[in-house]
Structures are given as structure tokens and as C-alpha cells.
């Protein structure tokens, strides 16, 4: 990670990377993960705040929060993401702008689908076996191998209630093309559609890094037996909803 100097640099870089991977996180969570004292984690966080690599936000709550101050969480900033080697963003954005101007928006969507087709082809064998939970986990592992720092697990409870349809949740804690996708959401849409085809079940994007959220979050609906792959018609939506708050650490 760039912009981290002095003897404290390596640990400070670890703190920033952990925030990148976990998404919105409290000081206690970060200190616990890294084995740092409250004073030590606070020092690193203060330095990262001063450098503009992270910022603070109030944690979202659902249901009855109770008394006391809302929890404060730390999130990575655009500058922080850039420090993790976001190369060629400007070049890619300018190239897509040129494509949109000369060939129209449909060309952007076709380009996005073609880019994702290689990912879909490579991931298909990994997600072909097992129940839905295992297949979503396999997809997360494949994405992590490609640098997306992904994780998977059961869909979280919202407001104290478990979602009626159950399902799984796929989280991508890093997006190499977040800045480009902010202007060209077709990239996110094509990826989401590919997830639906790979898993053979409806999926819904709840949040994206490109949209300003801390993590790209995809809800995977459990609809009977989704253990086989094939060509299926899968309803997909990229609507961003407040349910992404279920990710708070």
C-alpha cells in the first residue's frame, strides 16, 4: 500500500487493508482482529484519518437500537482505495466514454457481457457441485483468487427477523474497477447476471462499491433445489436497497 511510511507503516497498512476487506468496521473489531491495544489501534486510525485514507460514519441500525450513542465505524475512502494500486482507471474510463460516443450505450453493455463471459467460463466448474451454500462459497473463493476479496454466508437477519426466503449472501470487499463502474454500471449489471446464471437461481444486488457502499453485496435466493447448473432464465435485479445494512461489522 502506498502513502504509508515510518516504522508504523506496515501495521497501518494492515489496518487499512482490513477495513477494505471487512467494510465498515469499529475500532474494537479492527483492534481485535490485529491484536492491537485500544491505544494502538486508535493511533493508527487517527493517522489514516489525517491522511484521508479512511473516514468515519455512523453505523446503520435496524429495529430497536436501545439507548446509547450509535456505533462509529471506519470506512475506506476513494483515496484509500487508490492507494491499493487502482491502476489505469482513467484510461479505461476514457476508452469506454469513446466507445459510448462512437457506438452507443448498447456497445458498453455488450462489452461488459463479453468481459464477464471469460469469468463465467472459468468459474463454472468450481460452482457446479454441491448445495447452494457450498456453491456460493466456491464462487466467493474463485472471486477472491481474482482479487475481489470475496466472502459468503447465510443471508443475515434484518431488523431481528430472518428473511423469509432464506438464501445466501455474497460479499465482494474489493472491486478493481469500482471507479470505472461508477460511471458505467453496465459492468456491475453484467457481473450480477453472470452470478445468476452460474448459480441457477435469482440474485439481487443490494449494494455496490461503485455506488458508494463499503462492500458489493449480492443476495442469492434459495428456490428449492439449486444444485445443478445449466441454461436457466434467472430474474436479476441490481436495485440498491437499504438491506445492505445487514453487513455491518
- 48-64 tens-digit pLDDT: 999 999 999 887 654 45
User: Residues of the chain with pLDDT > 90: what percent?
Assistant: 52
- Higher pLDDT, residue 82 or 167: 167
Contact 214, 23 (CB under 8 A): yes
Indicate the pLDDT class of residue 158, thresholds 50, 70 and 90: low
The domain that contains 223 carries what CATH number?
A: 3.30.1380
Same domain assignment for residues 100 and 213: yes
Specify the pLDDT at position 246: 33
Q: In the chain, how many domains are there?
A: 2
Q: What CA–CA distance (Å, rounded) separates 67 from 65?
A: 7
Indicate the pLDDT class of residue 91, thresholds 50, 70 and 90: confident
Same domain assignment for residues 117 and 65: no
Same domain assignment for residues 27 and 143: no
pLDDT higher than 80, residue 234: no
Within a domain: residue 117?
yes
Same domain assignment for residues 55 and 104: no
Domain boundary among 82, 114, 132: 82
Q: What is the pLDDT of the chain when averaged over all its residues?
A: 80
- Span of 12-26, 31-45, 120-134, 184-198 with lowest mean pLDDT: 12-26
Same domain assignment for residues 219 and 240: yes
Same domain assignment for residues 32 and 124: no
Q: What CA–CA distance (Å, rounded) separates 18 from 34?
A: 9
- Span of 7-21, 117-131, 212-226, 232-246 with lowest mean pLDDT: 232-246
Full domain range(s) for residue 159: 89-247
Amino acid at each position: 500500500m502506498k502513502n504509508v511510511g515510518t516504522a508504523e507503516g506496515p501495521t497501518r497498512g494492515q489496518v487499512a487493508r482490513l477495513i477494505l476487506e471487512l467494510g465498515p468496521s469499529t475500532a474494537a473489531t479492527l483492534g481485535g482482529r490485529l491484536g492491537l491495544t485500544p491505544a494502538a489501534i486508535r493511533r493508527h486510525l487517527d493517522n489514516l484519518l489525517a491522511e484521508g485514507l479512511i473516514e468515519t460514519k455512523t453505523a446503520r441500525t435496524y429495529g430497536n437500537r436501545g439507548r446509547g450513542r450509535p456505533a462509529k465505524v471506519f470506512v475506506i475512502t476513494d483515496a484509500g482505495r487508490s492507494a491499493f494500486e487502482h491502476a489505469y482507471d482513467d484510461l479505461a474510463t476514457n476508452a469506454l466514454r469513446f466507445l459510448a460516443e462512437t457506438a452507443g450505450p448498447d456497445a458498453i453493455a455488450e462489452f461488459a457481457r463479453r468481459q464477464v463471459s471469460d469469468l463465467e467460463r472459468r468459474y463454472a466448474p468450481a460452482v457446479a457441485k454441491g448445495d447452494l451454500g457450498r456453491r456460493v462459497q466456491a464462487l466467493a473463493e474463485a472471486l477472491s483468487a481474482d482479487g475481489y476479496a470475496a466472502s459468503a454466508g447465510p443471508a443475515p437477519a434484518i431488523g431481528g427477523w430472518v428473511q423469509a426466503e432464506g438464501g445466501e449472501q455474497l460479499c465482494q470487499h474489493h472491486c478493481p474497477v469500482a471507479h470505472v463502474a461508477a460511471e458505467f454500471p453496465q459492468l456491475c449489471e453484467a457481473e450480477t447476471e453472470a452470478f445468476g446464471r452460474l448459480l441457477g437461481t435469482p440474485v439481487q444486488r443490494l449494494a455496490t462499491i461503485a455506488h458508494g457502499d463499503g462492500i458489493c453485496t449480492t443476495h442469492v435466493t434459495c428456490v428449492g433445489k439449486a444444485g445443478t447448473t445449466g441454461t436457466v432464465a434467472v430474474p436479476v435485479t441490481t436495485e440498491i436497497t437499504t438491506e445492505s445494512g445487514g453487513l455491518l461489522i
